[in-house]
Structure formats: structure tokens, C-alpha cells
Chains A and B, each alone.
Chain A
Amino acid sequence: MSNAANGHLPGTPAAPSHSAPPDRYVPGTGEVRRHRLIALVLDRPGVLNRVASLMRARSFNIDSLAVSHTDQPAISRMTITLQGDDVAVEQAAKQLYRLIDVLKVQDVTAEPTIENELALIKVRATDTTRPEILKVVELSRGRVVDLTPESVVIEVTGSEAEIDGFVAMLRTYGIKELVRTGAVVMSRGSGSIEEALKR
């Protein structure tokens, strides 16, 4: 080719004609924080798969996902907690709306809410540690739901942070098994996402 002298090697592009302006913001690169989404979905086969598949395919990082019935027949409720910057999570909500079975999505991160999850914790217990464990349970407003000579099963509800703290306390005695439901969230006050759906 004739004008090889003008050719640019890879990585050495022509200098732009303007002085460099600040970089354009790339969506999803802002400050990451924990968000809480509530989604009302039609209770149809595969809806959980659709939601989970979408979150995976779009690289959204789910912390927890809790699914249950609502007071309305054929409508289920999902509580999703995930990490991301505000724009990325808004994008997640909008992508969820593209699913035909999704009726309503609300980001309640900034709203006053009640947020709880339930945990069952099976702790190693001996005659010497049992009284201490029961004391911790009592202080943390937990409940013993099963008792054997070697173990205690404790049920506790609370926010994610509260349960994290409780579990940390119990870890010194030896946790044999742990299960958590993931957070469920409801907004405070008389407003209702289910009623909003009917309007």
C-alpha cells in the first residue's frame, strides 16, 4: 500500500483534535452498595428460573433471594438483595420488567422498611457450654427449638446484620449447621405494593 508512512501502529492512534475532556461516566462503575428489590411476579412455571437466569446473564450479583406467596392468588413475591451501584441496580430492575411474568419491581433501599430474615442454627452443646449458649440466646431474643445432649437448635429472626452478629457469637461453641432464609422486606406505613398493583 502506498501511504504506509501515514499508517498507525496498533495502540498508537492519531491524536484527537481536541484537548482531552473528562471521561464519560460508564454505567455501573459507581459506588457499590447493598440494594433491596421487591418484585411481584405471576406464579407461573419457571418464573424463578427466569429471574435467576436474567440476573446471572446480566452479571448482577444476588446476595439473597426469597420467594413466597402473597395475599393475592397467582401472584408471588420475591425479595432480592444485591450489590451494585445505583445505576446498575436500576438497570437490573428495568431488565426484570422485560420479563413478561414480572408485574412490579420496587427498589426499597432508600425507604423506611422492616427487614427480617430467619435463621436456624444447630450448635454443639455440652453440659458446660449449654448454660452459656442459652444465655446468649435469651439476650439475643432467639428461641431454642430443639434440644439434645450434644446440640441445640436455635431459631432467630432479625436483620442481616443482627443475625451476622448472633452467628459470630455462637461460632465459639461450634456451629454444626446453619440455614438462613434470606431477607424479606416490607415498607413501613400504610402504603402497599400489592394495592398499587391493583390500581
Chain B
Amino acid sequence: MTITKGGADGRRGQGGGAASAGEPGSAPAAPARGTERHSHVPGAGTARAVAIERAQREMLRDGSSAATAAAGRVAGKRTRIGADVVCESLIRQGVHTFFSYPGGVILPFYDVLGDYPELRHILVRHEQGGAHAADGYARVTGQVGVCMGTSGPGATNLVTGIGTAQLDSIPMVAITGNVPGALLGKDAFQEIDINGITLPMTKHNYLVRDANDLPRVLAEAFHIARTGRPGPVHVDITKDALQQETSAPHPSHEEVVAGLPGFKPNLDGHYRQLKLAAQEIAQARRPVIMAGHGVLHAGAEQELLALAEKAQIPVAWSLLGIGAMDETHPLAYGYMGMHGWKHTNRAIQSADLLIALGMRFDDRVTGNVKTYAPYARIIHVDIDPAEIGKNVAVEVPIVGDARRVLEALLPMVPAVDTQERRDYLAQLAGWRKESEASSWHGSGAWRDGLLSADYVVARIGELTNHDATYVADVGQNQMWLARYAGFRHPNTHVSSGGLGTMGFSLPAAMGAALGRPDRETWAIAGDGGFQMTSQELMTLVQDRIPVKLAIFDNKKLGMIRQWQEIVYGGNYHSAQLMGPDYLKLADAYGVPAIKATTPDEVDEAIRFAQSVDGPALIWFEITGEQNVFPMMPAGKGLSDLIETWGGPEE
């Protein structure tokens, strides 16, 4: 059979491509005219066509099985359907709170959800908000975050949040509904190949068409999301699978593991590699530890501290490694990379050994690899073998969980006396002093008669006793938060590092506040990022989620402006950004709000937000042209930091 584009139907008539539609060449069994309704489904009369017709009918009406479920509820009993399996699985996996938005094909789930009062459903205002909220929830609790949405636009709206979780290795399960199985591939209403879309940006994904597969698939999804290097898993479930009766049991953990022969993360470092690492550390004169997100994922903060103290090694951290070490510790040496501290980058460039723990040598960390840490040998510990040797070649690769590797490594590493490192550490201390005295640091409360962003961030850190959850948006605000809030505890810093998703802060803070209600939760957003997801203010109000939202309003896309000033020769375009009156906006949502434009108003505003029982908003009007320095231009190396900028004409 030859099929040409667009020609199959036209040439073969209503028989379509179905080989079983009747005698070759003859029309399919034609019903007597006027006695029966003629079907327009290709291949009429076949089992597949009947299934398609039934699915189409159910999409238009509310579906016969939904009616059955409702009738059953009235009678006090009903059968278990796929949607029940979803609820049972969430409960079995320890999910208390999840974030979702209803839609046509996921309504069977909402039809049974009321029968599970132990599940707290947060009705977000946009699916992207739901995905970020699940992400924020996961980052502060270490548990799997769950978000859900319907097919088509509901699913595509989740995509940015799933991508954010993928690049930052966040355990997440995203569940979407899809059109009934028989309509898959027919371009049905709100049908999109969401599995095809999420395939390259998830750890794994599933399409479930049979409710009997649901217990296994959901158990696998949670297991994969949280085991080894964490990541998002997407489960797409057809509407008819959600409605299908099933008695399939939930698998045991052993059954789940046995069913995934291709998924066996390696947790313990190879002994020989550990020995080599210990030798390297013993020989190093200028070692630097670099802590990444993997340290937090593994809960290896104590082990990291123990190694640093035993071998007297200063610790630098990546953006997502913030919180791995108390920043006030003498060996805590600072945030590294493109907008990291100059002294930290200088230490890396002059190091003879880098001990990288749970990080991926991202381009924002290394800059130009050719000139990166030119004198250093590298020990690289990561749970994902694919990260090792991906961006930089390393001398000692160790595949394993950061905590277990450090536990095993620690006894092998000889203790170093502080005296032995005296000169090295004294030099680093001098560099730190120098870099902190630079003009770009501690620029003071005022800049051009307006608030300076670093001052505001520092005050938020101090007035919250450095013990809140701080959620960054993306751009200058993200760098100011990373540098000036002063982090003391693990998992108190939440930031979209890999994907750099503007609009992340408010919804992620929503999830973080629900995950850790014992801590204050602060969202730090620029006026640009805030305007991307501001609709979630209503979710904060409706569900009384006590997020304190600090808008850093410079009436600009600050990082865009900075790059256009420095890299694009002052050719500004779209850097100016109009915004609403944020007090009126907050008032319309019913969120208590306050504005601060001078230094003496800053503390008062922060205390006001803290005093509100529930969400609150602070509108900080900050100076419009403050840059984040130092800065490493893209393509340059860590030794090429720009520290000041007066404009080309000055």
C-alpha cells in the first residue's frame, strides 16, 4: 500500500486505511439508507472505530462512568477506578499537599478527590505556578513535589516548571490527563503529544492507557524521582484510564526495584578512587572544596564540614550549593562563578586541587574551560556518572552519593594542622578583605538617591535571623540574594539556577511555605519576574499561605540593562519596564502591603510584613542602574572579572 501525504483518505474513500473495513475495493458494509445513522469514523464497524465513537460521545457528554461514580456515591459505595489509584498512590508516597488545576480530561480525578480528605489540594492560578510550587516544596522538604494539570494547554503550561526541576535535579512527579486512548493521535480537543514534549526534559516519563498499570507506574515514578540524582518524572494518564475500574494492587518497594532493571544508581564511591582522592588531598598545598547542590541533596553538610575542618580546606559553593555550609564559618570562602566573589574565583584560579562535590561545572561556574583553574588537579564526586568528564576533564572521578563518599573518604584523609596552612589561609583572608572592600560591595544604603538592593537584601537576612526560606527570582535580585542575605542553614536558599526561570519566586515560595511552615518564607523578586506569575497572589490569599513577598522595583529588567550597558555598548532595548502600582494591586488581591523608598523605611517595612498573619507584600523602590559586580562576561574566564564600569565615554 502506498500512502502519500494527504492522499490516503481522498483516494481510498471512507474505508480509510483500515484493512479490515470490508472486501478490498468495495465500500465498507453500508447500512441501509434511512434505517441506521451513518458513522463518519474511518473504518466504521471495526472495534477501533467503535471505541473512538464511544470516546467522542464521552467527551461531549460528561461520560457514562462519571455518572456511575456519582450514582455510586449517592448509594454510599462505588467501585475503585483509575482516579482512585492516583489518590491512593499520592497518600502511599507520603504526599500531603499537591498543586493542580482542573480541566476536561482530568475531571474524573477531581470527581473522586473529595473522598480523600488527607490530600491537600492547592488550586493554583496557572499550571506553571503549580509546577514551581511543587518544585519549591521539594527543595525545602527533600520530598517529592507533585503537580497536576489537564491535557493540552494545562500540560504545556507545566513544561517550564518541569524544565526548571530537570536542570536543578528536583524530585518532582508531574501528572497530566490526556484524551481517551482511542482519540490519541487524532488531534482531539486539547490533545497534545505531551510525552513527546517532556521526553528530553524529564528523568523519565510515562503514558498510561490502562488503569491496571497505574499502581506500578506511579510507584516507579516516585521511586525514580527521588532515587539517585533526583529529577522530575512525568506521568500522562488517559481519561478513560482514570475512569476505568481496576483492582490492581500497589507494588511493594522490592517489586518496584525489580521492575526497573536499568535503574541502579551507584551510591558508594569506588575504594581505589577514594584512596587516590585521599592521596591528592594529602599532597595538595592550595586545595579548594567546591560544594554543589549534591551536598544538599545528599544531606552531607556535616560530612562536608568535617572534611573541611580536618584537612583545613576552604569551601566555595555554587549558586545551588548555598547553604551547604554556614557562611560565618572561618573556612566558608564564598559563592563562586560568573557573579561570585572575586576572592573565591581567585582562590579557584590559583588552586592546585579542586575537590568538587555534587556539582556539574556549569558554564556559569567555569567560564571559559580552557583558562579555568589552570594549576588545579580535580577530584570530582557526583552521583551521576554522566556529569563526570562532561564539562571538564578530571584526574580523580568518584561516582557516588556525596554523603556516603565523604563518610568513606574522611578516615583516609590525614588531619592537617592549621599552622601548615597558615600562609595559604592568610593569603586567602587578605584576598577576601580586599574583595569585600571593593567599590561594588557594601555600596551603602543609597544609590543615586534611591535604595541600594544589596542593603535591602542584607536587612531582610538580618531581621529574619538568617533562618527563613529565601526564594529568589532570576536576574540581579537572584545574585544580590545569593551574595548578601547571609545563609546559615541548608535548604534555606531556593533559586532557579539551571534554567534561570523568571517568575519562579512567588509560586516556588508558595510551595516552600507549605513545605516548611515552621520557617518564615520570603520571595525576592524583581519587578520583571513578579509580573510573570503575579496571579498566584490570589492563591496565597485563598489558601492563606504566609509568603512575604519583596518586590525589588527598579522599573527595569535590571540584568538585561546591565548586559546592554556593558556588553552591548549601551544600546538599550526593552530594558525599561512599566509596572503597576503594587500597593493598589496588592490591595485588590487583599494582600497587606507597604512601600519603602528610603533606608530608614526598610526595617519598618520588613517588620510590618513579619507582623502580618498571612501573605504580605513589600514594594521596595530601588535605584534603577545598580549593577551586580563582579561580573564575568560570557566566554571569558574566571580571571577576567569586570569589577567596575563607568561607561565607555567616561
Query: Which residues of A line the B interface, CB within 8 A?
Result: 1-10, 13-14, 16-18, 20-27, 41-42, 45-46, 49-50, 53-54, 57, 87, 90-91, 94-95, 97-103
Contact = CB atoms under 8 A, between A and B. Distances in A.
B203 interface: yes
B386 interface: yes
B646 A103 contact: no
Contact of B385 (A21, A24, A94, A101): A94
B59 interface: no
B220 to A, nearest CB: 8
Contacts of A17: 639
Contacts of A27: 389-393
B645 interface: yes
B22 to A, nearest CB: 30
A101 B261 CA distance: 8
A130 B446 CA distance: 91
A23 B370 contact: yes
A50 B199 contact: yes
Contact of B203 (A25, A54, A100): A100
A46 B439 CA distance: 56
A99 B262 contact: yes
B224 A100 contact: yes
B199 A97 contact: no
A19 to B, nearest CB: 10
Contacts of B392: 24, 27
Which of B349, B567, B639, B641 has the largest number of chain A CB atoms within 10 A? B639
Contacts of B375: 18, 21
Given A95-B386, A100-B262, A13 B642 contact: yes
Interface string B377-405: 00000001110111111000000000000
Contacts of B216: none
B261 A42 contact: yes
Interface of B, secondary structure class, is loop
A41 B262 CA distance: 8
A39 B173 CA distance: 28
B390 A4 contact: no
Contact of B393 (A3, A22, A25): A25
A4 B566 contact: no
Contacts of A98: 203, 384, 386
Contacts of A87: 389, 393
Given A8-B644, A91-B386, 11 more contacts: A1-B650, A4-B644, A6-B644, A10-B569, A10-B633, A13-B641, A24-B374, A42-B261, A42-B262, A95-B386, A97-B385
A8 B642 contact: yes
B396 to A, nearest CB: 16
B200 A100 contact: no
B66 interface: no
A13 B639 contact: yes
Interface in B114-139: none
B425 interface: no
Interface in B360-375: 369-375
Interface string B631-650: 00100100111111111101
Nearest to A49: B199
Contacts of B370: 23-24, 26
A168 to B, nearest CB: 31
Which of B386, B641, B647 has the largest number of chain A CB atoms within 10 A? B386
Contacts of B263: 100
A23 B371 contact: yes
A94 B374 CA distance: 26
Nearest to A99: B262
B207 interface: yes
Interface in B476-535: none
Contact of B207 (A13, A25, A45, A97): A45
Nearest to A74: B261
Nearest to A10: B567
Nearest to B346: A17
The 9 closest A-B pairs by CB, nearest first: A4-B646, A13-B640, A94-B386, A4-B650, A23-B370, A21-B374, A16-B639, A7-B646, A100-B204
Given A10-B567, A16-B639, A4 B393 contact: no
B644 A3 contact: yes
Given A24-B369, A24-B392, A14 B640 contact: yes
B91 interface: no
Interface in B191-212: 195-196, 199-200, 203-204, 207
Contact of B389 (A6, A41, A45, A91): A91
B374 A46 contact: no
B303 to A, nearest CB: 25
11 contacts: A1-B439, A1-B646, A3-B644, A4-B644, A8-B644, A18-B350, A23-B371, A27-B391, A42-B262, A50-B199, A98-B203
B260 interface: yes
Interface in B609-650: 633, 636, 639-648, 650
B148 to A, nearest CB: 22
Which of B261, B384, B633 has the largest number of chain A CB atoms within 10 A? B261
Contact of A1 (B262, B639, B644): B644
Contacts of B645: 1, 7-8
A186 to B, nearest CB: 21
Interface string B239-282: 00000000000000000000011110000000000000000000
Contacts of B385: 94, 97
Contacts of B648: 9
Contacts of A4: 644, 646-647, 650
A169 B45 CA distance: 54
Nearest to B233: A100
A46 B262 contact: no
Given A4-B644, A8-B642, A21-B375, A101 B262 contact: yes
Contacts of B195: 46
A9 B644 CA distance: 10
Contacts of A49: 196, 199
Contacts of B566: 10
Contact of B200 (A21, A53, A102): A53
Interface string B39-55: 00000000000000000
Nearest to B262: A103
